Amino acid sequence: MSTGSSSARMSGGPRSQDLRTRVDGGAGLERRARATVRLDGIDHRLLAALAEDARMPNNALAARVGIAPSTCLTRVRRLRDEGVIRGFHADVDPALAGRPLQAIIAVRMQGAARSHLPAFARELARLPGVLDVYLIGGAHDFFVHVTAPDSDVLNDFVIENLSANPGVALTETNLIFQHTRGGWY
């Protein structure tokens, strides 16, 4: 299961809501509660295989993990329903898609704007070129991962969407020279 700028999301089922604490009353930002889903060795092998190739057909996934296809289907469905699997995503190469410049923009908000963090995060996530928005602790409030076709477009993005916003106190743009995706599992 990989992340990228283009994604087709499959939401978790009703039970997955029980496992999340909504930061903003259900508007997009979430924090995982301490409760976790009980997973066994087969579940972990399924997750590792799907993290490597989320498009693997069910029968191939079952064979790789060593279980029957019907069992595999049931277990993957349960993992989705429990919210362990949040979605399946296309890993798009931004450079090959015409957006070779990537940056992480650190954003610090004005003190009075802190009550609007969830709304601001949703607003940022909808902007063209934004891959991810992270609400963080520390000196900054957000890290925003963006792509752009060139430095002029990146500059315009920062000025028009961040610096011009009266709630934004500071931005710091860090260019990404190389990116190596880790295997989380």
pLDDT digits (tens, 9 = 90+) for 112-133: 888 899 999 999 999 999 999 9
Selected residue with higher pLDDT from 74 and 30: 74
What does the mean pLDDT of the chain come to? 85
| Dihedral sign (CA 145, 150, 153, 159) | positive
- Residue range 10-53, pLDDT digits in tens: 333 444 344 344 444 444 555 555 578 999 999 999 999 999 99
**Three-state DSSP state, 40:** coil
Q: State the DSSP H helix or E strand holding residue 146, giving kind and residue range, or none if neither.
A: strand 142-148
Domain ranges for the chain: 6-90, 101-176
Give the pTM. Answer: 0.72
pLDDT score of 23: 44
CATH class of the structural domain 101-176: alpha beta
Q: Please provide the CATH number assigned to the domain covering 6-90.
A: 1.10.10.10
- Among 109, 112, 117, 50, residue whose Cα is nearest residue 85: 50
pLDDT confidence band for 2 (50 / 70 / 90): very low
Task: List CB contacts of 121: < 8 A, sequence separation 6 or more.
Answer: 28, 29, 133, 135, 142
